[in-house]
Structure formats: structure tokens, C-alpha cells
């Protein structure tokens, strides 16, 4: 809230690390007009494909190096792999930037990242979905789990739209 009592909407600059299937969908959603979100840029393994994809978006966000992506973003969304996360997470958290982790299995055994986030006053965000996905199953095998039962419920109307097209 500003001094005059009006609400001010903060814009969060988001950088997407990994421009595969999921990263592209995240970029499209950000560019479609999520209130309070601005796509700062993206980075991908294949620069030619990544640059070509970003050029198809309405606001043409830039292809950035990993370091420049971190610098330009308030929130970095990891949409790559667990191995990429191992290198990315310490850099993002050391820079005091929030990190959203989609390869959540890569967080297992990384208590030092939590300490780094606390030290630099930033957050590690793990979005939830209907099911944990392959990362959840891979992560579960680290412990002494002998079986997994996954149950998901979704109302029929929730399946309308992109899933049914």
C-alpha cells in the first residue's frame, strides 16, 4: 500500500530456465497476461531453438545467459532437469532471488539450499499439482518406501479446455 492508502500492484520479473515442453508453457502463460507477472527472459540448452521460440511470443522476451537471467529476475522458474538444478539453485539463492523448482526430486538432501535461502532472504517454491509426477516417484525411491499409491481426484469440468482439445 502506498502512503496515500492506494494499493500498488507489484510486478514480478520471472525468468524461465529450461525452454522444453514445460518451460515453453510457463512462458506462454506469463505472456498471456498473468496479473503481476512480467517475463524477463528465458534460457535453454539449444540456443537456436530457444531463441526461435522466444521470438514467437508477443513481447519477444530475450534469450539470456544463466547469469543474466538470474540478474534480470525476481523469480527464476527451473523447468529443466534435476542435474541442471544442482548448478542453478546455489547461484539463484546466493543472488537472493526466489527459485521455483519444477524438478522437485532434486531438492532431496539439499538442506544447505534451505540455509542459503534463509541467509539471503529468498524462497524456494515448490508448486503442487494433481500428481507428483516422475520426480516424485524418483524421489520416493531414495527412502525406505516399499510401495506407493497415488490417488487424484478432479471434477469433470476441470478437464475441459486444453486437456480435451
Average pLDDT, the chain: 83
Distance CA 79, CA 77 (A): 6
Q: Report if residue 132 sits inside a domain.
A: yes
17: Cα separation from own chain's centroid: 7
Cell of 164: 480435451
Q: Report if residue 56 sits inside a domain.
A: yes
Q: Report if residue 29 sits inside a domain.
A: yes
The kind and range of the H/E element at 135 are helix 133-140
Q: Report if residue 1 sits inside a domain.
A: no
* Residue 108, pLDDT score: 86
Task: Give me the helix-helix angle, 82-94 and 111-119, nearest 10°.
Answer: 20
pLDDT digits (tens, 9 = 90+) for 104-153: 888 888 999 999 999 999 999 988 754 455 556 566 666 666 666 666 66
Q: Report if residue 128 sits inside a domain.
A: yes
Q: Report if residue 7 sits inside a domain.
A: no
* Residue 33, pLDDT score: 82
In the chain, how many domains are there? 1
Q: What is the CATH number of the domain that holds 18?
A: 3.40.50.720
Q: Side-chain half-sphere of 36: how many Cα atoms within 13 Å?
A: 6
Q: Report if residue 105 sits inside a domain.
A: yes
- Residue 79 lies in domain: 12-164
**SS3 at position 156:** helix
Q: Report if residue 22 sits inside a domain.
A: yes
Residue 8: band (very low, low, confident or very high) from pLDDT cuts 50, 70, 90: low
135: Cα separation from own chain's centroid: 14
Amino acid at each position: 500500500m502506498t502512503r496515500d492508502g492506494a494499493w500498488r500492484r507489484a510486478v514480478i520479473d520471472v525468468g524461465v530456465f529450461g525452454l522444453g515442453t514445460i518451460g515453453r508453457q510457463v512462458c506462454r502463460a506469463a505472456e498471456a497476461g498473468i496479473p503481476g507477472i512480467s517475463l524477463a527472459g528465458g534460457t535453454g540448452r539449444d540456443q537456436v531453438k530457444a531463441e526461435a521460440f522466444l521470438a514467437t511470443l508477443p513481447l519477444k522476451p530475450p534469450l539470456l545467459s544463466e547469469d543474466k537471467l538470474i540478474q534480470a529476475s525476481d523469480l527464476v522458474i527451473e523447468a529443466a532437469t534435476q542435474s541442471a538444478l544442482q548448478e542453478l539453485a546455489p547461484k539463484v539463492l546466493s543472488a537472493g532471488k526466489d527459485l521455483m523448482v519444477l524438478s522437485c526430486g532434486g531438492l532431496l538432501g539439499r538442506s544447505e539450499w534451505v540455509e542459503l535461502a534463509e541467509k539471503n532472504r529468498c524462497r524456494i517454491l515448490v508448486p503442487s499439482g494433481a500428481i507428483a509426477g516422475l520426480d516424485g516417484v524418483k524421489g520416493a525411491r531414495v527412502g525406505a518406501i516399499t510401495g506407493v499409491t497415488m490417488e487424484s481426484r478432479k471434477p469433470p469440468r476441470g478437464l475441459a479446455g486444453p486437456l480435451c482439445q
